[in-house]
Amino acid sequence: MGAELKCRARFGKQSSEGRALLETNEVIFRGEFRLKIPFAQMKSVKAVDGELRIAFAERGKDRRSAPARVPVLVVAVLELGDQAEKWAHKILHPKTRIEKLGILPGAKVSVIGEFEKAFERELAEVTKAVTLGKVTSDAEWIFLSAESPKQLRQSAQVAKALKGTTALWIVYPKGQKTITENDVIGMGRKNGLKDVKVVGFSATHTALKFVVPLAQR
């Protein structure tokens, strides 16, 4: 999960206290009204006097040609104080997926299961030490694709291979009842691991990071 702050938001004639979340690919506000603004829809992002001002394209109904929907440029304002400039910078200069996952150049990586080709290409750009289909004894990072409960249960075997500071990222689908965040966290803890970080892996998947507890290394 990204940054989260209590703040006041203004959107059109609406104004409300609530919580703003800066996620991997979107900004979310939850209060008396709700907003979800994907980065891809943002037309401008500015920090002015402690306010984060986001202009974005919203699809609205054109009553003259219903049910056609035409994009309308609207502005949302989040009163973030001294955090406004930091949020604007993060939105305008987002980290790459590899940076968010913490993979350093030359790292030894093991990949279990099916991943999108784009991720494999991103790995290849930072390290040649990538092993597909099995966990090597010197792996520093392990990625496990869990598209189903059966695949998630594979983490029990993978957990046995973790030692020292080796990290296991379990990547699972967003918004599916067959595998929830609680399922993934529960499986990791059942295998003696500690969950330490969660990131948006892609528009459709989330990644949870597990490590061996410090006292057991």
CATH number of the domain encompassing residue 22: 2.30.29.160
Query: What CATH number does the domain containing 179 carry?
Result: 3.40.50.150
Per-residue pLDDT at 54 exceeds 60: yes
Per-residue pLDDT at 62 exceeds 50: no
Co-location of 8 and 82 in the same domain: yes
Question: Which among 39, 73, 92 is the end of a domain?
Answer: 92
Give the total number of structural domains in the chain.
Answer: 2
Per-residue pLDDT at 72 exceeds 90: no
d(CA 142, CA 136): 9
User: For residue 24, which of 7, 46, 1 has the smallest C-alpha distance?
Assistant: 1
pLDDT at 70: 65
Per-residue pLDDT at 63 exceeds 70: no
Query: Which pTM value belongs to this model?
Result: 0.72
Per-residue pLDDT at 155 exceeds 90: yes
Task: Name the pLDDT band for 25 (thresholds 50, 70, 90).
Answer: confident
Task: Name the pLDDT band for 107 (thresholds 50, 70, 90).
Answer: very high
pLDDT at 88: 96
* Section 32-36 average pLDDT: 96
Co-location of 72 and 123 in the same domain: no
Per-residue pLDDT at 82 exceeds 60: yes
Mean pLDDT over the full length of the chain: 91
Per-residue pLDDT at 71 exceeds 80: no
Q: Which residues of 174-188 are buried (b: 16+ CB within 10 A; e: fewer)?
A: eeeeebeeebbbebb
pLDDT at 2: 63
3 state SS of 114: coil
pLDDT at 185: 96
Co-location of 120 and 29 in the same domain: no
The edge-to-edge listing of strands for the beta sheet with 3-11 is: 34-38, 26-31, 14-22, 3-11, 69-79, 51-61, 42-48
Co-location of 45 and 132 in the same domain: no
Alpha helices per DSSP H over 97-138: 97-101, 117-126
Per-residue pLDDT at 126 exceeds 90: yes
Query: Which residues neighbour 117 within 8 Å (Cβ) at sequence distance 6 or greater?
Result: none
Q: To which residue do tokens 């967003």 refer? A: 174
Range of the domain at 118: 97-216
Co-location of 80 and 117 in the same domain: no
176-190 pLDDT per residue, tens: 889 999 999 999 999
